[in-house]
Structure 1
């Protein structure tokens, strides 16, 4: 069984509700997954907008998600101190920042990518940013799943 990722808030290639956008409540949308491969010791997640005017824009990066988790709740960024680590996004924040395409742009695609990793923790500092975290995660990736939602201002 392959790793799968879904959200109760939106379905593949359909609009993400406004409450998950920066112009809404900026809440992290709930995610659920299954089918983690044997040997999974943690998960990492990124949220990217490949349609951004200056190239791919990263809205969220989370690592050190425990291997016994199969979901992230709405507003997961309010988790306790010993929870998974959020990495600095392209807005400069170590948290989730939702969709915010420029006004007048066609709908942007927001790709939520979950990786099953063979290590319990990544040792990348939080201020290193999402790209550094994801590059390290890829070295330990056993499987990857994604879901894509759209958003238009």
Structure 2
């Protein structure tokens, strides 16, 4: 199973439209055939470089989605606004259940999109945190695919006088 995006290449820059400096919409994602027995997918998007890549102190969760249908092979741009039937958002580190795009305070950060093929649905989880989702997935993961994008805030041009 491979995860890719038509919006950015692996280790490439995430387009501004998907960040706090743009429309802040989730990027499109696509993946190949999962293993037999897949009952659902879960998605976690996180930044391990927070707050500063030179001195990271925590992993910042940007998006969690659980119970994506097993026959699904893609999420369009802005899928966070309207998830497929049965899928649910988890809680991100802004305390919201939605996509929260890259918005690094300093430097170029890496954003890890991890898709998990699971041998079960996670119906009991309502708006899970990353820790709750990881605990529920333990022993249930059939496959994992990862895509990494990067983002650094654009700097405003210096104001010139005269």
Q: Distance in 1 between matches of 2:72 and 2:90?
A: 19
Q: Distance in 1 between matches of 2:83 and 2:4?
A: 24
Judging changes above 3 Å, is the alpha-carbon distance between structure 1 residues 90 and 134 closer, same or farther for their aligned structure 2 residues?
same
Partner of 2:144 in structure 1?
144
Task: Tell me the SS of whatever aligns to 2:58.
Answer: coil
Q: Distance in 2 between matches of 1:47 and 1:4?
A: 15
Moved over 2 A (4+): 80-83
Counterpart contact for 1:60–1:130, Cα < 8 Å: no
Counterpart contact for 2:109–2:150, Cα < 8 Å: yes
Q: What is the CA deviation profile of residues 40-93 of structure 1, one whole-angstrom value per residue up to 9, with x for unaligned ones?
A: 110000000000023100000000000000011111112168341001100011
> Does residue 124 of structure 1 match 2:121?
no
Partner of 1:43 in structure 2?
41
Residues matched between the structures, number: 148
Partner of 2:157 in structure 1?
none
Q: Which piece of structure 1 moves more, 18-27 or 135-144? A: 135-144
Task: Tell me the SS of whatever aligns to 2:131.
Answer: helix
Consecutive unaligned residues of structure 1, counting only runs of 5 or more, are none
Partner of 2:114 in structure 1?
113
- Structure-1-length-normalised TM-score: 0.91
Q: What pairs up with 1:48-67 in 2 under 5 angstroms?
A: 48-53=46-51, 54-67=57-70
Q: Tell which structure's C-alpha radius of gyration is larger.
A: 2
- Structure-2-length-normalised TM-score: 0.86
Q: What is the CA deviation profile of residues 15-48 of structure 1, one whole-angstrom value per residue up to 9, with x for unaligned ones?
A: 0000000221000000000130111110000000
